[in-house]
């Protein structure tokens, strides 16, 4: 194991330059995008800021979902589990963490069907169950957001520190601040547009790494050479992998399977409780909700699968070479838990260029995910706290202002909270494993909220708290039993976290089912359908009535399609494909491994086409009109009368739409000659 600190390949100036410089660049881009949208009549109000006026197409929905789910945690921990388990790690990581997004398409379409005017999923909870349930679910939703941003910041800051020597506390503060700068300006729609660029850059870097490892690099250069090196590594390290036979070339690994089960349970809870995912479902137009989430889930699969199949196992193969940062030692447990496999592998195959690429990856993945969290949390705080409990009579402008304050406030809170966690030596591995303790217990009641008429307020509240306390008790008890003590190391291990998460979900499910059987609420969905939006002038608005795409029969068919697709993809990606390889304990041959590596590349190509090229094709008419309008100067229009010239006022003279009354708009000025 590594006993000395690895050399730092880049200067601190590079770290500060990327974090501050790219943050400023994207803030300027956001200002430009927002200005273009305003020139086209797009008005910044609370509805636009939080849910983009519910008009996102399939491509941008998929891109936004993929970006939201591509955390720095995703990139770092996927490479880490591949380093620990070999091909089993990358495979199970992708399989167990992509299905949640596709499953979520069911909740997205049910929200469209039953509460088309809702702004957050917590509003649905409040209307159906009342204040106690609303506050209970809000606690777990915000806890999920806090844990997510903590893992993103801590993992990203540790990686940036290993690459540049940049102070960890500086990263923890500057990363959320740079995101805040452009999130405030653009809201959800413009943030998704910027995140689209982030995701495209991440995929391009993944392509560069793949070709460097498997095609052009002189250290490996081909899948066949990698296969040989993995065999040599297993022999050299005395077959250390926790897999069948200690090899890195099999899916048969009980440890990897436990990791997969823990991930799918706890991160299904994260997705379902995270308002930012509900927001994108609300923001999508009805025809795009299901295909957007399914396409996003399939596209996201390539992020961990291709990257970890490339960089995670490259770290195994090249760890004994002088180019590896910890040579001649292996990586230490601390370095592995901090998620440093990816930056070390990048340095090994590409030197300072590889380190720079990972630095950009960290910035892109941190900022794209944090921006979604900032918008999601600010929407909850502005609507579910400020509008509901503090100032029910708040106007649209006041809600928008509250949302801006909440973006800034949550960014500052997370920077301080992340600094506290780093100070007490909480790392990425600990947060990743224990997240399910806070997210699992809410799953049964939340799912029943959208699909069951029997569950009432008592069942919902009792199940979520019973499940939570069951999870905590099981978690701490087993940590004590397995390790003999309760400390950060023991409670962060996979086994107590897994069994605690299962206990929480199981207890919550038993409670809500039992109460619902004996106390049938007979809910009719009427109160959810009665939710209304409020226009800028204070009048009620029903999008389901005004928008013909909210056709009940069409949405019912979409719900059935979502369920069928979800079942098929879950069985294919998480049951049939992985467990067939697990059950047979198949040892990858050279030809099979070569095909496996090529599939990882093809999946990344599919991902790039789905979330980078397809959105451009889908939005081509709008983009062309933007380009045309941006490049065209205002013209003076001549009227039929020789005595009058009609002059369009410039933006500084135009009355903002939210200050107009009814259908009154600013009219062109008429100047007499």
Ordered domains of the chain (ranges, CATH): 12-132+158-424+548-629 (1.20.1730), 637-672 (no CATH)
DSSP 9: -
Q: Where are the alpha helices (DSSP H) in 484-551?
A: 488-491, 494-518, 526-529, 543-546
* Nearest 10 degrees: Cα torsion 583, 588, 593, 596: 0
Residue 464's pLDDT is: 96
Is residue 658 within 8 Å of 43, Cβ to Cβ? yes
Q: pLDDT digits over 278-323, tens only?
A: 887 777 777 777 888 888 889 999 999 999 999 999 999 999 999 9
Q: Where are the alpha helices (DSSP H) in 52-86?
A: 58-69, 72-85
DSSP states along 629-645: HHHPPP-PEE-SSTTEE
> What are the distances in angstroms from CA 112 to CA 75, 451, 547?
32, 13, 12
| Of 151, 138, 147, residue with least CA distance to 80 | 151
Place of tokens 């392509």: 207
Core vs surface per residue 546-556: b (16+ CB within 10 A) or e = eeeebeeeebe
| Of 259, 261, 227, residue with least CA distance to 242 | 259
C-alpha 249 chain-centroid distance = 30
Residue 87's pLDDT is: 94
> What are the distances in angstroms from CA 393 to CA 320, 383, 389, 568?
66, 11, 10, 46
Q: Which backbone phi and psi does 647 adopt, to 5 degrees?
A: -115, 125
Give 377's contacts (C-beta < 8 A, 6+ positions apart): 142, 145, 275, 276, 406, 410
SS (HEC) of 577-615: HHHHHHHHCCECCHHHHHHHHHHHHHHHHHHHHHHHHHH
Residue 547's pLDDT is: 63
Cα separation, 322 vs 354, whole angstroms: 16
| 524 burial level (CB within 10 Å; 0-12, 13-18, 19+) | exposed
**Residue ranges of the chain whose pLDDT lies below 70:** 1-5, 34, 36-55, 186-190, 533-549, 626-627, 629-673
Cα separation, 235 vs 248, whole angstroms: 10
Q: CB-hemisphere CA count at 13 Å for 451?
A: 15
Cα separation, 277 vs 297, whole angstroms: 12
Cβ neighbour number for residue 333 with a 10 Å cutoff: 12
238 φψ region: left (φ > 0), alpha (ψ -120 to 50), beta (else): left
Residue 575's pLDDT is: 84
Cα separation, 46 vs 407, whole angstroms: 13
Core vs surface per residue 58-69: b (16+ CB within 10 A) or e = bbbbbbbbbbbb
Let me know the angle formed at the C-alpha of 600 by 595 and 266, rounded to the nearest 5 degrees. 130
Residue 444's pLDDT is: 95
pTM (two decimals):
0.84
Cα separation, 121 vs 541, whole angstroms: 19
Cα separation, 480 vs 486, whole angstroms: 5
Tokens of 406: 């909440």
Cα separation, 617 vs 673, whole angstroms: 47
Is residue 245 within 8 Å of 237, Cβ to Cβ? no
Residue 530's pLDDT is: 75
């Amino acid at each position: 194991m590594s006993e000395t600190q690895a050399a730092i390949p880049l200067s601190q100036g590079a770290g500060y330059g990327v974090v501050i410089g790219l943050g400023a660049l994207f803030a300027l881009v956001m200002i430009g995008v927002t200005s273009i949208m305003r020139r086209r009549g797009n008005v910044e109000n609370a509805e636009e800021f939080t849910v983009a006026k519910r008009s996102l197409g399939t491509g941008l929905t998929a891109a936004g979902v993929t970006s939201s789910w591509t955390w720095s945690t995703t990139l770092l921990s996927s490479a880490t589990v591949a380093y620990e388990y070999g091909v089993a790690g990358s495979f199970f990581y992708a399989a167990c963490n992509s299905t949640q997004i596709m499953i979520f398409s069911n909740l997205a379409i049910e929200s469209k069907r039953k509460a088309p005017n809702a702004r957050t999923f917590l509003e649905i909870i409040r209307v159906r169950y009342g204040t106690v349930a609303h506050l209970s679910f809000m606690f777990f939703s915000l806890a999920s957001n806090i844990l997510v941003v903590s893992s993103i910041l801590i993992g990203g800051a540790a990686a940036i520190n290993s690459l540049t020597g940049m102070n960890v506390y500086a990263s923890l503060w500057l990363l959320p601040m740079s995101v805040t700068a452009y999130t405030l300006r653009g809201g959800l729609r413009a943030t998704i547009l910027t995140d689209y660029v982030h995701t495209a850059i991440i995929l391009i870097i993944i392509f560069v790494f793949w070709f460097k490892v498997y095609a052009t690099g002189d250290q490996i250069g081909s899948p066949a050479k990698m296969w040989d090196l993995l065999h040599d590594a297993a022999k050299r390290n005395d077959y250390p992998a926790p897999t069948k036979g200690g090899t890195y070339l099999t899916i048969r690994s009980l440890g990897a399977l436990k990791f997969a089960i823990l991930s799918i349970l706890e991160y299904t809870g994260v997705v379902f409780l995270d308002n930012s995912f509900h927001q994108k479902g609300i923001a999508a137009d009805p025809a795009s909700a299901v295909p957007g989430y399914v396409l996003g889930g399939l596209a996201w699969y390539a992020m961990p699968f291709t990257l970890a199949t490339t960089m995670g196992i490259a770290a195994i193969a090249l760890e004994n070479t002088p180019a590896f940062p910890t040579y001649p030692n292996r990586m230490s447990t601390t370095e592995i838990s901090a998620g440093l496999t990816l930056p070390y592998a990048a340095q090994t195959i590409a030197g300072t260029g590889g380190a720079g690429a990972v630095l950009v990856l960290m910035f892109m993945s941190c900022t794209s995910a944090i921006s979604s969290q900032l918008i999601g949390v600010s929407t909850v705080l502005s609507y579910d706290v400020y509008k509901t409990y503090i100032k029910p009579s708040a106007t649209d402008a006041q809600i928008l202002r509250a949302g801006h304050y909440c973006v800034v406030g949550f960014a500052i809170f997370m920077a301080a909270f992340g600094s506290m966690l780093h100070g007490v030596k909480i790392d990425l591995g600990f947060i990743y494993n224990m997240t399910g303790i806070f997210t699992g217990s809410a799953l049964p009641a939340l799912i029943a909220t959208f699909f069951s008429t029997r569950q009432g307020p008592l069942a919902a509240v009792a199940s979520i708290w019973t499940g939570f306390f069951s999870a905590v008790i099981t978690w701490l008890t087993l940590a004590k039993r397995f390790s003999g003590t309760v400390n950060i190391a023991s409670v962060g291990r996979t086994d107590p976290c897994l069994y605690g998460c299962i206990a929480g979900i199981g207890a919550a499910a038993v409670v809500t089912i039992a109460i619902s059987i004996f106390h049938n609420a007979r809910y009719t969905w009427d109160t959810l359908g009665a939710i209304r939006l409020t226009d800028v002038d204070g009048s009620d608005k029903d999008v389901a009535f005004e928008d013909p795409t909210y056709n009940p029969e069409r949405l019912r068919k979409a719900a059935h399609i979502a369920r069928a697709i979800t079942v098929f993809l879950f069985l294919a990606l998480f049951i049939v494909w992985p467990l067939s390889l697990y059950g047979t304990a198949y040892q990858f041959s050279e030809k099979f491994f070569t095909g496996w590596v090529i599939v990882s590349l093809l999946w990344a190509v599919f991902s790039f086409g789905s979330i980078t090229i397809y959105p451009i094709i889908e939005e081509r008419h709008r983009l062309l009109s933007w380009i045309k309008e941006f490049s065209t100067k205002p013209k003076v229009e001549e009227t039929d009368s020789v005595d009058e010239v009609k002059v369009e006022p410039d933006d500084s003279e135009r009355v903002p739409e939210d200050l107009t009354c009814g259908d009154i708009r600013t009219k062109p000025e008429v100047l007499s000659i």
